[in-house]
Amino acid sequence: METLLSVQDLKTYFYTGDGPIKAIDGLSFDLIKGTVFGLVGESGCGKSVTALSIMRILPPAGKTVSGKIIFKGDDLLGKTEVEMRGIRGGEISMIFQEPIASLNPIFTIGYQIEEAILSHLKVSKRESKKRVVELLKAVGMPSPEIRVKDYPHQLSGGMCQRVMIAMAMACEPSLIIADEPTTALDVTIQAQILDLLRKIREESGTSMIMITHDLGIIAEVADSVAVMYTGRIVESTDTKTIFRDPRHPYTIGLLDSLPKGKGEKLVAIPGMVPKPSELPEGCKFSTRCRYVIEECQSSEPPLKEIDTGHWVRCIRAGEIKRL
């Protein structure tokens, strides 16, 4: 199995007047070529910052202070901005969670997709226009020859997300990062978008990182998954194992909070994800954990392999079982 992307001990901080905020603090994972890797966790755990760090499009206050992002054998953190412009869109594309906000309102969707093509591929204007229509057709856009002249405000949320996917596919990238691609869509459209992403993966072999808070989406599309909490991975394994034998209390809490049969109450995880500036000592989940013991509050556990390919950051992983 070939590793396409390897994130190694990544640390991304945001610098504020009150000091650095550790949004990502020692993150490591590998993406195998041709697979879908899921990053899951509540809002504020660092999923989107991970994506922005990989793409190197952090806001001005953010900075990756250490670690490596090895893509096809090269460290992206060592690339110049000019080199990164060639990689973004060409080798690595990103689908953002708010398509309306990501599309430029003053240009037609056809122009915006074509711009991505002309920026990375050596094709004529005529060929690029033809490719735009083909891409829109591939993502299920009705009447693509007509829709190319539409502006973003003329399209529904689902259609705008299809445009974003078409743009991400435009240059046949090796990696697509999908950041909550179905968040703002209704259930029916969500299913259509997931089917589309699954089809792209199957037909093109494109590798994907699927970022979501929804374990149901992970179950449908991901081969492997990492559960994030406060900028760290707390559990990582293949998707089947995460549902069959979760070992971190946070993962168990996420699974228990999923909707069940009619009439059954949802079991919520108590409390909220702590602010990066207010993290507890020891295990960062200790203030919300029903399995907490005194030792948990004194030292943060390392990420340990408890079984082949199954990594957990919990000192009680060997004894905890989901009921």
Same domain, 177 and 163: no
204 and 257 share one domain: yes
Strands of 134-183 (E only): list them. Answer: 175-179
218 and 160 share one domain: no
Q: Which residue from 207, 192, 218 is spatially nearest to 71, judged by alpha carbons?
A: 207
Task: Please state the domain count of the chain.
Answer: 2
Distance CA 291, CA 159 (A): 45
Statement to judge: residues 144 and 275 lie in one domain: no
Whether 19 and 77 share a structural domain = yes
Kindly state whether residue 322 falls inside one of the protein's structural domains: no
**What amino acid is encoded at 120 in this protein?**
H
Q: How much is the pLDDT for 301?
A: 94
30 domain residue, yes or no: yes
Do 130 and 39 lie in a common domain? no
Domain with 140 in it: 106-172
Based on the fold, state whether residues 79 and 136 are members of the same structural domain: no
The answer to whether position 217 is within a domain reads: yes
The reported pTM is: 0.92
Contact 211, 39 (CB under 8 A): yes
- Residue 287 in any domain: the answer is yes
Please tell me whether residues 10 and 43 are part of one structural domain. Answer: yes
CATH number for the domain harbouring residue 34: 3.40.50.300
Do 212 and 279 lie in a common domain? yes
Which amino acid, one-letter code, is at 31?
L
The verdict on residue 96 lying in a domain is no
Residue 93, pLDDT score: 94
Q: Give residue 68's pLDDT.
A: 97
Q: Which two tokens stand for residue 182?
A: 């179905």
Instruction: Mark which of 138, 172, 206 sits at the end of a domain.
Output: 172
318 belongs to a structural domain = no
**Domain stops at, among 140, 172, 204:** 172
Domain end (from 172, 207, 223): 172
pLDDT of residue 264: 74
Residues of the chain with pLDDT under 50: none
Neighbours of 83 (CB within 10 A): 12
Q: Which amino acid is at 179?
A: D
CB 285 within 8 A of CB 291: no
Residues 287 and 156 in one domain: no
Q: Hey, which residues does 232 pair with through a beta bridge?
A: 229
In a domain, 75, yes or no: yes
Residues 198 and 303 in one domain: yes
Q: Does residue 193 share a domain with residue 223? A: yes
